[in-house]
Amino acid sequence: MSDPIELRWEALTAEFLGEPGVTLDRAFGRMSLMIHGKLFASAGPRGLLIKVSEERVDELIRRGEAGEFRGGGGRVMHEWAVATPEADWSALAAESLDFVAATAHPAP
């Protein structure tokens, strides 16, 4: 039987790959959903990595829906959160897509 996180990731990729500008590529050592080449969601052993505003990260952590994300050297990445396996990954990925798309520009 497959890992529950892996199964959720497969469903999430199927849901988002049909969106304009969304691709699947490697980032942080694993396959990730990208919008115009910028990462917006990636699954790992702790849950779903997403990028949202720093204020939203703080809210998700307070509500117990996510934990902080530490990049190289253990530094906290303030606009990144790891959504728990119990969180609504589809809604959080959509929120992350919108946040990243607002700052990403399509490649020429």
Residue 106 is classified by DSSP as -
Boundaries of domain holding 83:
4-101
**52 within domain boundaries:** yes
**59 within domain boundaries:** yes
CATH number, residue 88: 3.90.1150.30
Residue 57 is classified by DSSP as H
Taken as a whole, the chain contains a residue count of 108
**95 within domain boundaries:** yes
pLDDT at 104: 72
Domain count, the chain: 1
Q: What is the pTM of this model?
A: 0.91
**108 within domain boundaries:** no
| Tens digits of residue pLDDT in 13-39 | 999 999 999 999 998 888 999 999 999
Torsion from C-alpha of 36, 81, 25, 86, nearest 10 degrees:
-120
Residue 38 phi/psi, 5-degree rounding, is -110, 130
